[in-house]
Structure 1
Amino acid sequence: MERLHGSQNQAAPIDARLRARRAESLRRPHLDRFRLSRGHEGLGRLLQEQLQPTSINNEAAAEKRPQATAPGSQVGRIQRPDRRPDLRRQRIDRPPGDSRRRKTNGGGPMRKAMNIICGILAELCALAVILLGAYLAYDAKASSLDQSYVSHRQEQVSHRKIHMATPGKTATMRHTDPPAEAEPGDGELFAYLRVPSWGKQYRLPIWQGTAKTVLDEMGAGHYDTTAMPGQVGNSSLAGHNTYADMADIRLLKPGDVVYIETGSYWYRYRINSNPEIVDQSRTDVIDQDAAGVERGLTLQTCWPIMTGGNVTHRLIVHGGLDGWAPKTDGMPAEYTETTDTTIDKISRRIVTVSEKKNLPVTGVLGICALAIWILLDTIGWMCSHRRMTCYWHGRDIGGPITWLWRLNAGIMPSNTIVFIITRTIVFLMMWTAIILSLWRWACPPLASMHFLTS
């Protein structure tokens, strides 16, 4: 009896531990279900539905198990509750109110084809805008880059030779009566208008006459009914209202200096009035005494600037003669080489090359930009040919601008920032070469046909 009571006393703690383990195992599914339901409502709901029968079966099995064993019997192996299902491999249907996007197949081949066509059309429109902007820039200002080339060619066919001033000497202005200038023929190039405050390379050709065919030659026209430069009376000049011609006379103010360089002389005029807007019917602004001095100068252009069509107003400014000098005495102090900046020296060098090669400045710059682009792009492709090749394979078709972008390579492909910066520099150099080439070979014929202008 004592042995039996001892065995029962030893089995009691074992039964208590078994009951505690069963109770804990039955509680775990409920705890897991509660935790999942807080963060994932759909997943928690599914767990609740799948774990509920498992917990009921476990509770029924627990009730059927004996609570104690007979003295001296072995403790049976405890059956653990069924394992929870592997939810990672099961498809979880989202509730009707779920706003998360579902993956689509892209709308089919027709939609992809439409996207490609729309992308190409959009880039074609962007390219057209860039080309149109290049032409408008040429018409407004960039055509002045080729003025020296045009005037140099006109000098070669003209009967009037415009001599170069003696280099290395500074001319001293004289205040006596200047010698008389011979009257040029109609449409003949005979002088240059130069304004030191607009740059040392500014040199606007002056033609005889003010007909539209004359003014379209890029430059100013001299009213043949007014006095020649330096002579008694009022020498009147007119030009188009573009930045390449005479639109900048609006910037002149009293005291500014204007030079007229003829074949043999320098004539210095000093502005004595502010720019004035008058009606086109006022012809008195170019009368012999309009400038208010014995030997005057009148500059005139249409107003407003950069407008075509039938403009009804004119912008005028007056000045008076302030000295003259033979070109054999040298150049005015404002144009001596001792005052040249680095930009002036580079500009003079480019003009010299243009005249020697008989090629406009835009052509010289375009060829130089093209050579630099080819060199930089070749170096980029040598450094990152593997990465650049990937852009042409497995990518969208793109459009013209995308194709041009893919032509340009950068260096250091392992460094994304350096690669993008160097690639952008090469891309901009390519566009510089394209635009300069357009200014040389495409824009002049369009301008001669008055494209987009009246």
Structure 2
Amino acid sequence: MGVDELFTDEKAPGERAGRRSKQRNAQRHRQGFFRTIVQILGELLITAGVVLLLFIAWELWWTNIDANNAQQHAISAFAKEFQGPVAPVNSGAEPKDFGPPVVMADIDSPGKVFGVVYIPRFGATYSRPLVDGVAREQLDTLGLGRYATSTMPGGIGNFAVAGHRQTHGAVLDAIDSLVPGDKIYVQTKDGYYTYVFRNNQIVLPTRADVLLPVPTEAGAVPTERFMTMTSCNPRFGSEERIIAYSLLESWQPASAGPPAAIAAQVAANSSKG
């Protein structure tokens, strides 16, 4: 064996060990890099999850609290200006016919609160402001908004309103619980209008014909006094719309006091005004 061969044999194991060490270092480096990437992605996903949960909590909880406070303030302001007794004047007497209902002039003033809606089916203390307009700035804050193309409460034709179902006060959350015969009361400065729920309908968002003077009947001349409530469907979605139709049963002026069914809530609202 020559000297060169001897040195070659002596260096070979060291070189092989060096190569293996470099390979292990490279492998550890790659593993460390991928581990870091996975950790970063995991942290980003956790952060995104927390942000999503906070957003859902804000949508389903805080917007309701914020809107409820604004709506109660609006009801109190309306009650403070309302002129009329807060208890029935002829309690226990036979219902009186007050003739054709007084119908407010179209106010065409988006954002103006001009009434209060009471729906006992939704709870004994349910009362929500009635505001002109159905833009986000009205529905997200003040509750039930009147479509500008519809009539005013008590008018011949279609008095149509919209409201959120799960957020921003959830004013129509229980719209699907209405049953035929349920009463819906609308209070304005002129008095109280009693509508009776007839039926509901599930439609696509493009079905604007539900807002026609005679709902869903294009070209028909109205002879009745409708109330139409619209909201999103299902409860946590907006793929459809749920429509609730009612007909005016009676009305009474502010001087007669409220219907007995809502007298306690009218008085409660007045005491906060």
Same structural fold, with TM-score higher than 0.5 when normalized by the shorter chain: yes
* 2:109 is the alignment partner of 1:186: yes
Q: State whether residues 71 and 128 of structure 2, in contact with CA within 8 Å, keep that contact through their aligned partners in structure 1.
A: yes
Deviation at 1:335, TM superposition (A): 2.5
Query: CA 1:333–1:152 in 2, change beyond 3 Å: closer, same or farther?
Result: closer
Q: Which amino acid in the other structure matches residue 269 of structure 1?
A: Y
Query: CA 1:284–1:175 in 2, change beyond 3 Å: closer, same or farther?
Result: farther
What's the counterpart of residue 246 of structure 1? Answer: 172
Q: Distance in 1 between matches of 2:102 and 2:114?
A: 16
Q: Distance in 2 between matches of 1:135 and 1:314?
A: 20
Deviation at 1:258, TM superposition (A): 0.4
Among residues 137, 145, 151, which one is paired with 1:213 in the alignment? 137
Query: CA 1:168–1:175 in 2, change beyond 3 Å: closer, same or farther?
Result: closer
Output aligned runs, 1:335-374, within 5 Å: 335-337=262-264, 348=268, 352=271, 355=273
Deviation at 1:181, TM superposition (A): 1.2
Query: Alpha-carbon deviations, 1:206-246, whole Å to 9, x = none?
Result: 11111111112231111111111111101101111226311
Among residues 277, 291, 301, which one is paired with 2:202 in the alignment? 277
Q: State whether residues 266 and 325 of structure 1, in contact with CA within 8 Å, keep that contact through their aligned partners in structure 2.
A: yes
Q: State whether residues 214 and 221 of structure 1, in contact with CA within 8 Å, keep that contact through their aligned partners in structure 2.
A: yes
* 2:163 is the alignment partner of 1:236: no
Deviation at 1:145, TM superposition (A): 5.6
Give the superposed CA RMSD: 3.4
Q: State whether residues 293 and 320 of structure 1, in contact with CA within 8 Å, keep that contact through their aligned partners in structure 2.
A: no
What's the counterpart of residue 299 of structure 1? Answer: 229
Q: State whether residues 147 and 218 of structure 1, in contact with CA within 8 Å, keep that contact through their aligned partners in structure 2.
A: yes
SS in 1 for 2:171: coil
Q: State whether residues 303 and 314 of structure 1, in contact with CA within 8 Å, keep that contact through their aligned partners in structure 2.
A: yes
Q: Distance in 2 between matches of 1:233 and 1:132?
A: 39
Deviation at 1:138, TM superposition (A): 3.7
Q: State whether residues 267 and 321 of structure 1, in contact with CA within 8 Å, keep that contact through their aligned partners in structure 2.
A: yes
Q: Distance in 2 between matches of 1:249 and 1:297?
A: 14
Q: Distance in 1 between matches of 2:70 and 2:137?
A: 18
Query: CA 1:210–1:134 in 2, change beyond 3 Å: closer, same or farther?
Result: closer
Query: Alpha-carbon deviations, 1:159-218, whole Å to 9, x = none?
Result: xx4335343534745363212312224221111111122233211111111111111223
> TM-score under structure 2 normalisation?
0.66
Query: Alpha-carbon deviations, 1:66-123, whole Å to 9, x = none?
Result: xxxxxxxxxxxxxxxxxxxxxxxxxxxxxxxxxxxxxxxxxxxxxxxxxxxxxxxxxx
Output aligned runs, 1:23-38, within 5 Å: none
Look at both structures and tell me which one has the larger radius of gyration over its CA atoms.
1
Q: State whether residues 170 and 332 of structure 1, in contact with CA within 8 Å, keep that contact through their aligned partners in structure 2.
A: no
What's the counterpart of residue 177 of structure 1? Answer: 100
SS in 2 for 1:284: helix
Q: State whether residues 140 and 306 of structure 1, in contact with CA within 8 Å, keep that contact through their aligned partners in structure 2.
A: no
* 2:253 is the alignment partner of 1:326: yes
- Uncovered stretches (5+) of structure 1, i.e. residues with no partner: 1-125, 338-343, 356-454
Q: Greater strand percent: which structure?
A: 2
Q: State whether residues 206 and 222 of structure 1, in contact with CA within 8 Å, keep that contact through their aligned partners in structure 2.
A: yes
* 2:76 is the alignment partner of 1:152: yes
SS in 2 for 1:216: helix
Q: Which amino acid in the other structure matches residue 216 of structure 1?
A: D
What's the counterpart of residue 183 of structure 2? Answer: 257
Among residues 198, 201, 206, which one is paired with 2:125 in the alignment? 201
By relative contact order (CA 8 Å, sep 6+), the higher-ranking structure is 2
Deviation at 1:304, TM superposition (A): 1.9
Q: Distance in 2 between matches of 1:294 and 1:168?
A: 27
Q: Which amino acid in the other structure matches residue 165 of structure 1?
A: P
Q: Distance in 1 between matches of 2:79 and 2:108?
A: 13
Query: CA 1:270–1:212 in 2, change beyond 3 Å: closer, same or farther?
Result: same
Q: Distance in 1 between matches of 2:149 and 2:108?
A: 13
